[in-house]
């Protein structure tokens, strides 16, 4: 019985941790995506790059 109550106490903490990690991951992905979009638009303006070329160079770095 004590074991079950311990699991009950641990579950909410784990859920919060998982949600926190997911939110951090989403934020990081958003920031990377915005950096990618801005670098593509700046790169294509100044260097005359095509989208595919820039995508390859971005993924390579």
Q: Is 38 part of a structural domain of the chain? A: yes
Q: Is 45 part of a structural domain of the chain? A: yes
User: What does the pLDDT look like over 1-59, one tens digit per residue?
Assistant: 455 555 555 666 777 788 888 888 888 888 888 888 777 766 666 555 556 666 666 66
* pTM of the entire predicted model: 0.41
Q: Is 53 part of a structural domain of the chain? A: yes
Domain of residue 54 covers: 19-60
Q: Is 54 part of a structural domain of the chain? A: yes
Q: What secondary structure letter does DSSP report for 58?
A: H
The domain tally of the chain equals: 1
What local confidence, expressed as pLDDT, does residue 19 receive?
82
Q: Is 23 part of a structural domain of the chain? A: yes
The Cα 7–Cα 25 span in angstroms is 27
Residue ranges of the alpha helices (H) in 1-61? Answer: 2-47, 51-60
Q: Is 14 part of a structural domain of the chain? A: no
The Cα 18–Cα 5 span in angstroms is 21
């Amino acid at each position: 019985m004590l074991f079950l109550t311990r699991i009950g106490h641990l579950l909410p903490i784990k859920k919060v941790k998982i949600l926190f990690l997911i939110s951090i991951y989403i934020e990081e992905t958003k920031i990377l995506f915005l950096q990618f979009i801005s670098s593509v638009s700046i790169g294509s303006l100044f260097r005359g790059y095509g989208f595919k070329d820039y995508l390859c160079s971005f993924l390579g770095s």
